[in-house]
Amino acid sequence: MIELAPSILSADFAHLADQVDRATAGGGTVIHVDIMDGHFVPNITIGPVVVKSLRKATHLPLDCHLMIENPDQYLGDFAEAGADWISVHQEVCRHLNRTLNLIKSLDCRAGVVLNPATPVETLSEVLDIVDYVLVMSVNPGFGGQKFIPETLHKVRKLADLRAHRGYAYRIEIDGGIALDTVTEVVRAGAEILVAGNAVFGQGDAKQNASALLEAARSASLQRV
C-alpha cells in the first residue's frame, strides 16, 4: 500500500496545525517530522515540544526522523511527546541493535535510515527487527534538494531482499520526491513517500498532496 508522508519541514510553522490538516485532506496518512541537531546535519530544526503540540493537532501517526547524534539519549522524550514511529540513522548508531530495540520497547515503530553513501549491506543484521527502512534520496539536512537517482537501486535491493527472505519491513523514501520523480520511486518499490517541498512549497497543500498521491498510485498499478 502506498502512503504519503508530508514532511512539515517545508510547512509554515506559524500555521502548522492548519498545514497538517490541508495535507491530510489531500490524502497524507503519516506526518513526517524532521529532527535536526546541527551536528549530524548542518541544520537545526525542532524537538519534542513541537512533537507534543503536533500530537494534539492530528490523529495521524507522527513519523519522527532523527537526524541527530546520540539518539538513544532522546528516544524516551520523543516517545513521551507522542511519536509513533522513530527512525535513526545507521551512520550514528554504534549499537544499532540496542537502539532499535529501545525504540520498540517504547511502543514505537522502529526505523533505520540510510544516507545516500551508506549501503544496504550495513543493515544485514537488523533487517529482521526493523519495522521500516528509510532510504535517503538526498543528503539529509534541507528540504527542496535535488533527487539523487543513484539511490534507487537500494530501494530495489530492499524489496528483493524482503521478497526472498521473508522480512516484514516497509520501505520509505525521503528527499526530492515530487511529480517528476514519484513514478520511478514507486516502480522501484518504495511504499511510504516523504514529501516536503512538493506538498508545502507552493500552492495548496491539499491539492499538492492529492496530485502526488494520485501519480504514485497510478505508478504502483504499473509496477512490474
Catalytic residues: 34, 174
Distance CA 217, CA 185 (A): 11
Angle CA 80–62–42, to nearest 5: 90
Partner whose binding site includes residue 175, from Zn ion, ligand DX5, none (CB under 5 to 8 Å by kind): ligand DX5
Helix, strand, or coil (residue 210): helix
Residues that bind Zn ion (CB under 5 A): 34, 65, 174
Q: What is the largest CA-CA distance in the chain?
A: 46
Binding of residue 47 to ligand DX5 (CB under 6 A)? no
Binding of residue 176 to ligand DX5 (CB under 6 A)? yes
Q: Which is nearer to ligand DX5, 58 or 160 (CB)?
A: 58
Stretch that binds ligand DX5, among 3-11, 47-55, 68-76, 206-214 (CB under 6 A): 3-11
Q: Which is nearer to Zn ion, 198 or 221 (CB)?
A: 198
Find all residues with CB under 8 Å of 170, minimum gap 6, and list them: 131, 132, 133, 191, 192
Q: Which is nearer to ligand DX5, 142 or 167 (CB)?
A: 142
Site for ligand DX5 in 4-33 (CB under 6 A): 7, 9-10, 32
- Which backbone phi and psi does 31 adopt, to 5 degrees? -105, 120
Binding of residue 65 to ligand DX5 (CB under 6 A)? yes
Binding of residue 181 to ligand DX5 (CB under 6 A)? no
For the record, the C-alpha cell of 54 comes out as: 503536533
Give the residue from 109, 64, 115, 107 showing the smallest Cα distance to 89. 115
* Binding stretches for ligand DX5 (CB under 6 A): 7, 9-10, 32, 34, 65, 138, 140-141, 143-145, 174-177, 194-198
